[in-house]
Amino acid sequence: MSNQPYRTALVTGASSGIGAAIVRRLSEAGIEVHALARDAKRLAQLAEETGCIPHALSVSDVAGIEALMNEIEVDVLVNNAGQSRTGNITNTTVDDIDALVDVNLRAVLQLTRLVVPGMIARDRGHIVNISSIAGHYAFAGGNTVYHATKAGVHSLSQQLRCDLYGRHVRVTEVSPARVETEVFGRLIGNMEEAKKRFFDEYESLLPEDIANSVAFAVLAPQRMNVSFMEVLPTMQVVGGLNFAKKSADPA
């Protein structure tokens, strides 16, 4: 802590997976961490383990978030909370679209809007956005709305650096590929099946890998801004091209 000025952090989606790992890592670094998520029981357990300050609140609750921001001073905002769905735009629902936009993009914008003025006034701060390779690459099987919201987070991260030009307020986007978390179990409704399908035969990233990536950026010297970090398992690649064969001519 002696070589960097951050005293407090707010981590969203903090009750499990990547969020909980980030809370642990930043707490180890001596930062007072405010952990925000809906699961009060898990947050209480995390608070007992790490000493973090729990806030059982949905990122979609704008009034609740505004009230919280009036109570605490945030040096580091980690926008980690996120949701996904199965399927694509051909079978998505109104509720799916609203939920993903609300959590993955609108909440990120609202939180950023609320914390940035204080960071500018103090000339001190760091916004860390956890996006996804889905925001940069199109691939079969991905959820269309999820891809679109994460692309929005990527664009926000880029524009924020322009908005904050000349200030000591840094913006980092961490874009993970496959990470072994509960998200896959929630998607298909069965964690054991998700483990077999997505993890047992693959060497995926672990939540602490992303937490360490965040810590690297946050704890870096103030002269240095890690603007973008794409974090993939060693055995996973991005990109690729599919080419469908011509359909047979109708009779």
The per-residue pLDDT for range 76-91, each reduced to its tens digit, is 999 999 998 888 899 9
Whether 249 is in a domain gets the answer no
- 77 phi and psi angles, rounded to 5 deg: -105, 120
Residue 188, pLDDT > 70, answer no
Among 166, 100, 161, smallest CA distance to 132 is for: 100
Is pTM beyond 0.85 here?
yes
Query: Which amino acid makes up residue 213?
Result: S
CATH number at 61 reads: 3.40.50.720
Better-scored residue on pLDDT, 136 or 184 = 136
> How large a percentage of the chain has pLDDT more than 90?
76
146 is annotated as an active-site residue: yes
Domain count, the chain: 1
Q: Is residue 167 included in any domain, yes or no?
A: yes
Residue 152 lies in a domain: yes
What pLDDT does residue 223 have?
95
Average pLDDT, the chain: 92
Q: Is the dihedral of CA 42, 48, 52, 54 positive or negative?
A: positive
Please indicate, yes or no, if residue 175 is contained in any of the structural domains.
Answer: yes
- Tell me which residue range forms the domain holding 108: 8-223
- Is residue 149 one of the residues assigned to a domain? yes
In a domain, 170, yes or no: yes
Annotated active-site residue in 6, 137, 146, 202: 146
Q: Report which of residues 197 and 27 the model is more confident about.
A: 27
Beta carbons within 10 angstroms of residue 223's beta carbon: 6
> Which one-letter amino acid corresponds to residue 40?
A
pLDDT of residue 4: 72
**pLDDT score at 249:** 67
Distance (Å, whole) CA 65 – CA 221 = 30
The answer to whether 126 and 77 have CB atoms below 8 angstroms apart is yes
The answer to whether residue 91 sits within a structural domain is yes
- Give domain status of residue 171, yes or no: yes
Distance of alpha carbon 23 from alpha carbon 55, whole angstroms: 13
pLDDT confidence tier of residue 1, bands split at 50, 70 and 90: very low
